[in-house]
């Protein structure tokens, strides 16, 4: 319940931020106004002795969040995807936030598995290891299936984690309300919406059936991707609090020495990891949104293996087309077209000057293209682009921010494998192929086919609907509400069909 009982949690939070030296850094990151800064310091300083010390070897923000516990760690991870809220510097610090939490016992893990699956753990697994990884929400064990001897990874939620998260999220909402009350200017950052976004992410991760479903969907989308593989979900050994997958055996993608010793081509790996991400984002609209080295391995045959599907990104088909045209325009240095795409998509208000916007985009793109290949950064380009669009009144789009953040991470992974990698030349064939496939005559034909499919569902009823509408019109009778709606839908559908045919012919023969 979001009420005064949360004050104690906020006092403990403020005391820890003050004691670890994170208070000033956090207030600066949120660009807090003076009244809010004074209130935070006055309320926190007398209680600083109640705060957690944290690990002094960590930067203040990560030190404080790690000391405060799982919900705060996860909140920091989510905020690392929102540079529009906390700024680039803070987002960068939060990206390296590590879930260095003590594991819970094997006995507790086995009890959770038995409760979830409904069978004794010893009958499910012939071997069950100590935790191999302990994170803020769950931990992972290496095990062997009893019936066939296959090695698997078993992910188990922490005991009582759902209740602990509910309490802390409740306090976060209370804090967001206080911030909006004390600082009306902060409402532009929409604190309550940020907490709601965080709550949605966490609720998804607290039900491992949803992560299993994400892994399964991702696997179905990427079946034909050469040089890429995913662990297989073991549905019979999974549930809400337990997730079992085949074991991902390979060399960590962040260990260059081990990669070289295994004889893998790091240049090829660097290009493949970037192109895979772009394919997943553009082609499928469903991508791994946490593709850092810790979630990637290289199999013995050279395939890249991805795992941990707690954070996935999704963008609709229209947004993918817009994003691809923006990338393609920058690759071709056609800044006028990039500007037009922003206006056509409604990202920039129509009353702004498209020529002025194009010049601003040129000021962003040209210096980057003048750089040496080792200094060209797609992530920086997107960051600069968002700065420009903000000046021209473009509203923040969360799905594009997550995409930008993931691209920055993937770019970092690629450059760690091959520092001299040319990001643009690697991305170009993927973007060009997407443009040919999804923004051209073939795309128009596909869209037309979808329109026909929708209309076909109403096919048997179309003649009667049209006849009824015409009779009522000829008799001067006002149609009843349902027929009016259906008639409009009918004419709208026929108009869309005609428009689709015209577009297809224009693109094919124009």
Residues with catalytic roles: 290
DSSP string, 302-368: S-EEE---SSEEE--HHHHHHHHHHHHHHHHT-HHHHHHHHHHTTSS-TTS-HHHHHHHHHHHHHHH
Asked whether the beta carbons of 262 and 136 are under 8 A apart, the reply is no
| Residue 210 contacts residue 52 (beta carbons within 8 Å) | no
For residues 26 and 16, what is the distance between their CA atoms, to the nearest angstrom? Answer: 12
DSSP string for residues in 4-39: GGGHHHHHHHHHHHHHTT-HHHHHHHTT--HHHHHH
The whole-angstrom separation of Cα 491 and Cα 134 is 58
Angstrom distances, CA of residue 431 to CA of 85, 222, 436: 29, 17, 9
Q: Where are the alpha helices (DSSP H) in 118-160?
A: 121-124
Q: What sign does the dihedral 413-415-416-418 (CA atoms) show?
A: positive
Looking at the chain, the number of H-run helices and the number of E-run strands are 23, 10
Largest pairwise CA distance in the chain: 85
Q: How far apart are CA 193 and CA 293, in angstroms?
A: 30
């Amino acid at each position: 319940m979001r009420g005064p009982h949360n004050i104690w949690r906020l006092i403990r939070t403020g005391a820890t931020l003050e004691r670890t030296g994170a208070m000033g850094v956090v207030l600066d990151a949120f660009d807090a106004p003076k009244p809010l800064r004074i209130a935070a310091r006055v309320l926190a300083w007398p209680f600083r002795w109640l705060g957690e010390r944290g690990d002094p070897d960590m930067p203040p923000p990560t030190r404080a969040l790690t000391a405060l516990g799982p919900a705060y760690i996860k909140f920091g991870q989510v905020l690392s995807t929102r540079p529009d809220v906390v700024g680039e510097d803070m987002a960068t610090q939060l990206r390296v936030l590590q879930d260095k939490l003590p594991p819970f016992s094997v006995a507790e893990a086995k009890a959770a598995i038995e409760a979830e699956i409904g069978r004794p753990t010893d009958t499910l697994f012939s071997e069950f290891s100590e935790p191999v990884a302990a994170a803020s929400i769950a931990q992972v064990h290496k095990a062997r299936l009893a019936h066939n001897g296959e090695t698997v990874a078993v992910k188990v939620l922490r005991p009582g984690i759902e209740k602990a998260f509910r309490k802390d999220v409740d306090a976060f909402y209370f804090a967001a309300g206080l911030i909006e009350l004390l600082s009306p200017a902060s409402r532009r950052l929409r604190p309550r919406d940020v907490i709601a976004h965080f709550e949605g992410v966490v609720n998804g991760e607290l039900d491992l059936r949803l992560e299993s479903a994400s892994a399964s969907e991702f696997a179905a989308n990427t079946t034909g991707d050469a040089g890429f593989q995913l662990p297989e979900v073991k549905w019979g050994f999974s549930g809400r609090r337990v997730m079992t997958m085949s074991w991902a055996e390979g060399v960590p993608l962040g260990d260059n020495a081990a990669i070289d010793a295994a004889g893998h081509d790091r240049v090829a790996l660097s290009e493949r990891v970037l192109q895979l991400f772009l394919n997943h984002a553009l082609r499928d609209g469903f991508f791994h949104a946490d593709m850092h080295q810790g979630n990637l391995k290289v199999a013995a045959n050279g395939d890249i293996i991805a795992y941990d599907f707690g954070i996935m990104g999704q963008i609709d088909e229209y947004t993918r087309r817009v994003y691809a045209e923006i990338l393609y325009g920058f690759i071709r240095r056609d800044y006028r077209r990039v500007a037009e795409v922003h206006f056509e998509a409604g990202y920039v208000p129509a009353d702004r000057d498209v020529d002025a916007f194009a010049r601003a985009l040129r000021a962003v793109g040209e210096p980057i293209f003048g750089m040496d290949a080792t200094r060209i950064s797609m992530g920086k380009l997107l960051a600069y682009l968002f700065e420009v669009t903000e000046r021209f009144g473009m509203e923040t789009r969360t799905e594009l921010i997550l995409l930008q953040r993931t691209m920055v991470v993937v770019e970092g992974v690629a450059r760690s494998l091959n520092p001299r990698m040319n990001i643009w030349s690697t991305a170009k064939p993927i973007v060009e192929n997407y443009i040919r496939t999804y923004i051209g005559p073939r795309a128009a034909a596909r869209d037309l086919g979808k329109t026909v499919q929708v209309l076909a569902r109403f096919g048997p009823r179309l003649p009667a609907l049209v006849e009824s509408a015409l009779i009522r019109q000829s008799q001067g009778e006002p149609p009843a509400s349902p027929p009016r709606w259906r008639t409009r839908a009918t004419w709208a559908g026929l108009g869309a069909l005609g428009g689709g045919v015209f577009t297809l012919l224009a693109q094919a023969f124009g």
